[in-house]
Each structure stands twice: as C-alpha cells, then as structure tokens.
Amino acid sequence: MSLKNVHFILVRPQIGENIGAVARAIKNFNITKLRIINPRCQWPNEKAIATSVGANDILKSTKIYDSLKKSIGDLDLIFAATSRIRKVNKQIISINDLKKKIRRKNKIGIVFGPESSGLTNDEISYADYLVKIPTNNKFSSLNLSHSAIIFCFELFNFFSKRNVSSS
C-alpha cells in the first residue's frame, strides 16, 4: 500500500475554510484523495478554494457522496477519528498505533465528522477502528484540519520509512 490508497473522508463538513485547510494538509503530505459526504456549506465553495492555498487540484478532484456507506464501498479498512469515547463495539486505538493496523495493498479511509458534533454512533459503526489522538483530557477537541494533518503526518512517516527501508 502507498499514500495513493489513502482516502480522507469528511462527513457533513460545515465550514468551507476547514475543507480547504484539509485539502492543503493532505497535499502537503502527498495524499490526493478527498471525499465529502453531504457538505453543509455550499459546494463548490470559494472559501475552501481560498484556504486550500495551492491545493485546488485536490478540491477539483474531490468526490461528493450522499452517504458514508456509498463513500467507503471500495475501501478495505476504515479508521474513524474521534475525540469522544463511546460505548460501541469497536476497538479504540491511539493514532500512535495506526501503522500497526495497516496492511499491504489495503485501500484505507480516514473518516472525520462534522466540526460541531463529530461522527454519530451509526457513522462510527462503519469503521473498523476508532482512532483517538492523545490530547489534554480536559480539552480534547481538535479543529478538523488539525486532526487531519496529524493523521497525514503519521501516514507520511509510515510510508516514507517503508520506502527508505525497502530501497
């Protein structure tokens, strides 16, 4: 597997600027696939374009879906980002352990919920793993693009190390 098989999926994003910032973040780390489910802001969005700062190609190739189920149909492994732990029958891992769950040739999806509420329990049910970014226990909510860039960094480092060691 390579970064070409990584898909970032935004569920009901509310703010165009956050979509643009996510596009910029993923492009910084050589990830090109962005999917959006039912954007709550008008799409395409001028504010997303402005904040993408050079990642317009990512926004132009973004695929829009009307359900999470449809957006993940061609993917093998789904990780859902969450700052809240819920009573669901899913393994919860730290982002530090993300690389331990990735298998060769898997097409993976990294799913993020809306800025104000995060993913619903129903949406989380589609994930293979819930991923938590270790933060201050009293203030664990990260901005959508900040959360995305942490995932990008972990994935980029993982694939860069594999490429260096296999050369």
Any idea where the domains of the chain sit in the sequence? 3-165
pTM for the full model?
A: 0.92
| pLDDT tens readout for residues 64-86 | 999 999 999 999 999 999 887 76
CA-to-CA separations, 4 to 29, 106, 118, 156, 164, in angstroms, rounded: 11, 10, 26, 11, 17
Asked if residue 134 has a cis previous peptide bond (ω within 30° of 0), the answer is no
Both tokens of residue 99?
Answer: 């690389």
CB 11 within 8 A of CB 38: yes
Please tell me the distance from the alpha carbon of residue 167 to that of residue 155, in angstroms, as a whole number.
18
| pLDDT tens readout for residues 102-142 | 876 889 999 999 988 889 989 999 999 999 999 998 888 88
Architecture in CATH of 3-165: 3-Layer(aba) Sandwich (3.40)
Percent share of the chain, pLDDT over 70: 94
